[in-house]
Amino acid sequence: MEMENQRSSSVTIIHNATIVTMDSESRVFRDGGIVIDQDKIKAIGQSPDILAQFSAIAHHIIDLHRQFLLPGFINTHVHTSQQLARGIADDVDLMTWLHHRIWPYESNMTERDSYLSTLLCGIELIHSGVTCFAEAGGQHVSGMARAVEELGLRACLTQSTMDSGEGLPPSWANRTSDECIQSQKELYQKHHNTADGRIRVWLGIRQIMNSTDRLLHETRDTARELKTGIHMHVSEIAYENQVVMDTRKVEHGTVAYLEKIDFLQKNLLAAHTVWVNNTEIGFLSRAGVKVSHCPASAMRMLGFAPIKQMLDSGICVSLGTDGAPSNNRMSMVDEMYLASLINKGREVFANGATDPMALPSEIVLKMATINGAKTALWDDEIGSIEAGKKADLVVVNTNLWSMVPIHDCISSLVYCMRTENIVSVMCNGKWIMKDKKILNVDEEEVISRAKEASGELLKRAGISIPNRMNVL
């Protein structure tokens, strides 16, 4: 049993659980218990030992009846401001997706829209066991922050930042590099380390095709100054690499250019990172860049990312859902399932031979937990169940038809678990969902308000969705 010495105040014991710790020893307690004091895990061990030592000081004792207890999942690439746009850009190429659907949508958003969109997205994230997310970049960070604080989630929030490029909406086209940097500094001062420390503010680069060299350099230097992270879409499509080769005069593409200008750092979260070669994988590995793999979104619009090769080279790869218009499902449970299958399939595509062990379930579970924490630069506090870390936890009911019987508990979590198996979620020592009920916001009211706001927003943006069939 492990303990951290700290003053007892509001102590909760959770016991009789299968605890998958995701710690450095990959320990799983078949009959485990943990002690939570305020927002932190005080001790972890076998249930009888935990009860014997701590039951006298516990305010609450919870028997999980052999349900599973996991660290909260960490979604390292999600556009919460795009939730109201679910379904507006299905089955179109990326540039049409950006220029004719998403940018008109985002540029017409109000702060209230971002607030409602993040509330709606957050509800779905919580239902799938997410306790922390890295915002991929959107409008009105203050609206996002308000929603995150109310939901009780943990987040790295990022503004969508662009200062150049074709196809930008008029309201964005005149943004200078200085304005982009200054606005992010102000957001950092206003929101960083707020909501009981659950909110951090990062810097954002939407993509290289919408960034001047000055914006890239200033973002890199400002992130160093503020000691925070940078979130950037990197090497999404072949066209992006071609544009970089044509305009920036490098041999391959985005990663090669970012290496050239010393942009690749340990605090960079590179999203997607699909179109990279072996040399660029080496650049990412040596620089300590973190990669967010979004399997559903990638297979829909981008292609096969060389995830096995990245992991083999020592790159920290985590999982993300991307936004609702490019995935439609904000479920990390789904992403774990897809990540393993897609990357097994990629090996057949790339090498002409099957490799069922290409991305085993224990690695996928690491990607959703401790690797996610490392990607979010938060692994000192979250990502695993250990004494001294924050109490960010997920309760999984395995006694449903989707997971019975369990012969291999780890593979069952990746291959069998569904969002419906997630029953309770704790973040920062507080329950934010219990018995499938979201506790801090009225789910039905959010859904109603979001439906109304999304319709009004599409009208303002002038976006109409063509009928696919003969709708009468």
Give the model confidence (pLDDT) of 184-238 as tens digits: 999 999 999 999 999 999 999 999 999 999 999 999 999 999 999 999 999 999 9
Q: Across the strands, what pairs with 271?
A: 233, 292
| Residue 1, pLDDT score | 57
What SS3 class is residue 135? strand
pLDDT digits (tens, 9 = 90+) for 283-298: 999 999 999 999 999 9
From CA 11, how far away is CA 70, in angstroms rounded? 19
If 0-12 CB within 10 Å is exposed, 13-18 middle and 19+ buried, where does residue 337 land?
A: buried
Lowest mean pLDDT among 4-13, 335-344, 417-426: 4-13
Ranges of each domain in the chain: 11-71+382-438, 73-376
**4 falls in which pLDDT band (50, 70, 90)?**
very low
pLDDT digits (tens, 9 = 90+) for 122-140: 999 999 999 999 999 999 9
- Amino acid, single-letter form, for residue 269: L
The matching CATH number, chosen from 3.40.50.1980, 3.40.50.11890, 3.20.20.140, 3.90.1300.10, for 73-376 is: 3.20.20.140
Arithmetic mean of pLDDT over the chain? 95
Supply the pTM of this predicted model: 0.96
Task: Please tell me the CATH code under which domain 11-71+382-438 is placed.
Answer: 2.30.40.10
Question: Residue 178: how many CB atoms within 10 A of its CB?
Answer: 12
Q: Are strands 422-427 and 430-434 parallel, antiparallel or unpaired?
A: antiparallel
Q: What is the DSSP secondary-structure string of 31-94?
A: EEEEEEETTEEEEEEEHHHHHHHHGGG-SEEEE-TT-EEEEPEEEEEE-GGGGGGTTSSTT--H
Q: Looking at per-residue confidence, does 280 or 249 come out higher?
A: 280
**9 falls in which pLDDT band (50, 70, 90)?**
low
From CA 35, how far away is CA 40, in angstroms rounded? 9
C-beta separation of 228 from 200 below 8 A: yes
pLDDT digits (tens, 9 = 90+) for 391-429: 999 999 999 999 999 999 999 999 999 999 999 999 999
Residue 97 has pLDDT above 70, yes or no: yes
Q: What are the residue ranges of helices labelled H in 313-395?
A: 332-351, 361-368, 370-375
C-beta separation of 230 from 258 below 8 A: no
Q: Among candidates 211, 235, 224, 226, which has minimal Cα distance to 283?
A: 235
| Residue 456, pLDDT score | 97
Residue 2 has pLDDT above 60, yes or no: no
